[in-house]
Amino acid sequence: MGAASTQTTYPPEILQSMRSPNKISLQKESDGESTVTTAKQSRPIDAAPWLGLVVLLAADILLARYVGFRLTASADVLALAAMPLCLATGSRIYSARSAAIGLTLHQTALLIAYAPLAGSLSYMVAALAFPLIDGRLSALDLALGFDWVHWFTFVVAHRRLDIALQVLYETSGIQIVGVLLWLGLKGHARRLREMVALLVWTSLVIIVLSGLLPAESAWNYHGIGLERAYHFEHFSSLRAGTLRELPLGGGMTGIVTFPSFHTAVSIITVWVVRGLGGFWPLLVLNIGVLLSVPTAGGHYLTDMIAAAFITALLILIRSSGRQSNSGTHV
């Protein structure tokens, strides 16, 4: 008698790979389910976010006309505008080889293209010059038991603590870049999209609120630490009507006090790595960032609470939307 023959049963996705030369990748998403993606099936370029940026640009232009603001395009700004285009093109090229690299380049391009548009919007809503609310923010801080002046003088009196908090405050931008690249290149596609979506939506809400409820900063209101108020020259000039011409996205600085975007960034970066290897180090780091926000950023405690509420609300809305429509992403 001949030897008994055995038959191996392969999963459908492996059988498909035998019939197709396309690369197969198994990826475990944040919900614990593995997904199979072929290079041919991968489509990292989504037109909807780019259409959203066009809408934001149109809003910038319309608001600029309303407040008498002139937007110009310098060589530096044109070079900056070319960067997301190059990254988007690269994402299309690399998507044929690696879905992770393609999606990472795409999401990076979106953020780079969004940043100058959001910065311009923050300047133009500040130019609306609505009444300042610093007095109310300070009063709310005291009602909550937080004495900003006492905390600032305590930190400044301890030089090493002051320097450490200033360094921690400056890590927010580095964290955005680092977490974005780490999530993308590790193949955490849903988390990467979630991070970019939350950064965009929280910043838009914060910018709009900063125009409707403007504040000059705790430094300026209390008259201490004025040497740290790097934003105030532009902020005061916008409100006075003397700053009305600026390259689109060029030469700007962060001028938003209420709510605190640094607080939102800290919450988002920790949230998107939940359950992953970098969670605990990032949690500890961002606790330090949150401690630095009042002194290194000139924020009221109320700024931080408002930003935390906005961020938590948007996380809840996004999570609920994903659960009800699991096949759709923003």
C-alpha 236/C-alpha 242 separation (Å) is 9
Q: What is the pLDDT of residue 21?
A: 41
Write the pLDDT tens digit of every residue in 40-78: 444 445 678 888 888 998 898 899 889 888 877 654 455
Which of 310, 327, 46, 51 has its CA nearest to residue 198? Answer: 310
Q: Is the pTM of this model over 0.85?
A: no
Q: How confident is the model at residue 31 (pLDDT cuts 50, 70, 90)?
A: very low
pLDDT at 156: 97
Q: Which stretches of 165-304 are assigned E, i.e. beta strand?
A: 245-247
Mean pLDDT of the chain: 83
Q: Quick one: average pLDDT of 292-317?
A: 98
Structure tokens at 104: 């990472």
List the domain boundaries for the chain.
Answer: 19-324
- Report how far apart, in Å, the C-alpha atoms of 271 and of each of 140, 242, 315 are: 27, 41, 9
Cβ atoms of residues 69 and 127 within 8 Å: yes
Residue 37 has pLDDT above 60, yes or no: no
269: closest CA among 281, 257, 254, 255? 281
In angstroms, rounded to a whole number, what is the distance separating the alpha carbons of residues 52 and 58? Answer: 10
For β-strands 245-247 and 70-72, DSSP reports them as parallel
Strands (E) across the chain are located at 24-28, 34-38, 70-72, 245-247
What CA–CA distance (Å, rounded) separates 119 from 247?
11
Give yes or no for a contact between 117 and 263, defined as CB atoms under 8 angstroms apart.
Answer: no
Q: Mutual orientation of helices 99-126 and 232-240 as an angle, nearest 10°?
A: 50
pLDDT of residue 330: 43
Helix (H, G, I), strand (E, B) or coil at 196: helix
Q: How do residues 170-215 score in pLDDT, each as one tens digit?
A: 999 999 999 999 999 999 999 999 999 999 999 999 999 999 999 9
pLDDT for 73: 63
**Model pLDDT for residues 253-286, shown as the tens digit of each residue:** 899 999 999 999 999 999 999 999 889 999 999 9
Q: Quick check: 32 pLDDT over 60?
A: no
Greater pLDDT, 45 or 116: 116
Contact by Cβ (8 Å): 225, 219? yes
Residue 325: left if φ>0, alpha if ψ -120 to 50, beta else—which one? beta
List Cα–Cα distances, 173 to 6, 176, 282, in angstroms: 57, 5, 13
Q: 246 by DSSP, 3-state: which?
A: strand
Separation CA 157–CA 165 (nearest Å) = 13
Residue 14 has pLDDT above 50, yes or no: no
Q: Which residue has the higher pLDDT, 145 or 107?
A: 145
